[in-house]
Amino acid sequence: MVAFLTQLLLVIRSWFAWRARLEAENLILRQQLIVLRRQRPKRLRLVKIDRLPLVWLYRLYPALLDALVIVQPETVIRWHRRGFRAYWRWKSRQVGGRPRIDSEIRALIRRINRENPLWGAPRIHGELLMLGIEVAESTVGRYMVRRRRPPSQGWKSFLRNHAAGIASLDLFVVRTISFKLLYGLVILRLARRRLVTIAVTANPTDQWIAGQVTDAFPWDEAPRHMIRDRDGAFGPAYIRRIRAMQIRDHPTAPRSPWQNGHVERLIGSIRRESLDHLIVFDEAQLHSVLKNYAAYYNQVRTHLSLQKNAPDVRRRQKLGPIASIPILGGLHHQYVRVRF
């Protein structure tokens, strides 16, 4: 019994000695921290692995906040709250449900929605079904483009829908080898950029222009609107003729050729691709050159605005050897496939 009590007293003594030693060690460590903080008053930068033990010990023993020296207690509490939010964000992550659709399908939905502002989710959903893409209609509505205004067509669509009823005409000057001035007249339908009429004269009167307009458009195919500049050649006879044909006259503003940009660009193409490379001798030669260029322009020449096709639609050819046909004396060529 005495031996047992002696052993028990030794254990208690050793426990108190260990406790005293632990307290002394803590006091020494705290004093060293106080000295280091006094020597380095700047804010310490801690990485995540340094913050984790402090947060975990605070979670087990909240009273340990009084023992913090290198950071403020509010900082540890903020770290703990941030870790709490990160934990529940990880715990609430999606582990099931519907699979996410591919980025290509999402981009296709937005593309269809941008190109067709009047379409809603059911219409786009039906179009996707026709393309073999199986998605829910609610998914289509989720990835549609959000607009601040009601859906409306763009100016490009508006102008394209009215281009079939618009034509434009203009005069241009050509100098002959004898310095005589000849005048060319071009009439253009804006729908397919088709050159309807190209004529030559030495005296562009309003009666002559009115006759050219009459020859260019049958009475049942006349455009609703005609764009022109304020040239003095468009006199009373021209005005009476287009009014009789129920065509509305639209003269451009003074010194504003950009308002009739399609026909101005056509005249520029005629000069760059034909007239700038030859010398005109007389009216007959000019008339022949312009007629050949008009046929080349309507039937052969490709246009960017027509998806690189001609005003008179060209069929794609895939079979047969390729042959070239010279146009305007070899200034341009047409390439076709020959069938035997």
* 281 contacts 176 by C-beta, under 8 angstroms: yes
Q: Is the pLDDT assigned to residue 204 strictly greater than 90?
A: yes
Domain assignment present for residue 335? The answer is no
What percentage of the chain reaches a pLDDT higher than 70? 70
Length of the chain: 340
Q: Is the pLDDT assigned to residue 11 strictly greater than 60?
A: no
Average pLDDT over residues 333-337: 85
More confident residue, 66 or 107: 107
The pLDDT assigned to 2 comes to 53
Confidence of residue 130 (pLDDT cuts 50, 70, 90): confident
Q: Is the pLDDT assigned to residue 7 strictly greater than 60?
A: no
What percentage of the chain reaches a pLDDT higher than 90? 32
Residues 193 and 309 in one domain: yes
The pLDDT assigned to 138 comes to 84
Residues 277 and 308 in one domain: yes
Neighbours of 45 (CB within 10 A): 6
More confident residue, 66 or 248: 248
Residues 248 and 299 in one domain: yes
Domain assignment present for residue 334? The answer is no
Residues 65 and 109 in one domain: no
Q: Is the pLDDT assigned to residue 275 strictly greater than 80?
A: yes
285: domain CATH number is 3.30.420.10
- Convert 91-127 to b/e letters by CB count within 10 Å (16 or more is b): eeeeeeeeeebeeebbebbeebbeeeeebebeebbeb
The pLDDT assigned to 68 comes to 62
Domain assignment present for residue 327? The answer is no
> What residues have CB less than 8 Å from 212, skipping those under 6 apart?
185, 187, 197, 199
Closest among 212, 219, 224, 106 to 163, alpha carbons compared: 224
Q: Is the pLDDT assigned to residue 71 strictly greater than 60?
A: yes
**283-325 pLDDT tens trace:** 999 999 999 999 999 998 888 888 888 898 888 888 888 888 8
Residues 172 and 303 in one domain: yes
Domain assignment present for residue 320? The answer is no
The pLDDT assigned to 1 comes to 55
Domain assignment present for residue 256? The answer is yes
Residues 61 and 143 in one domain: no
Average pLDDT over residues 250-268: 91
The pLDDT assigned to 265 comes to 93
**171-202 pLDDT tens trace:** 999 999 999 999 999 999 988 889 999 999 99
Domain assignment present for residue 172? The answer is yes
Q: Is the pLDDT assigned to residue 214 strictly greater than 60?
A: yes
Residues 257 and 280 in one domain: yes
Residues 167 and 308 in one domain: yes
Residues 130 and 245 in one domain: no
Domain that holds residue 112: 103-152
Residues 85 and 190 in one domain: no
Residues 70 and 197 in one domain: no
Confidence of residue 240 (pLDDT cuts 50, 70, 90): very high
Q: Is the pLDDT assigned to residue 136 strictly greater than 70?
A: yes
Domain assignment present for residue 6? The answer is yes
Give phi and psi for 134, each to the nearest 5. -95, 100
Domain assignment present for residue 9? The answer is yes
Residues 7 and 135 in one domain: no
Confidence of residue 208 (pLDDT cuts 50, 70, 90): very high
Number of domains in the chain: 4
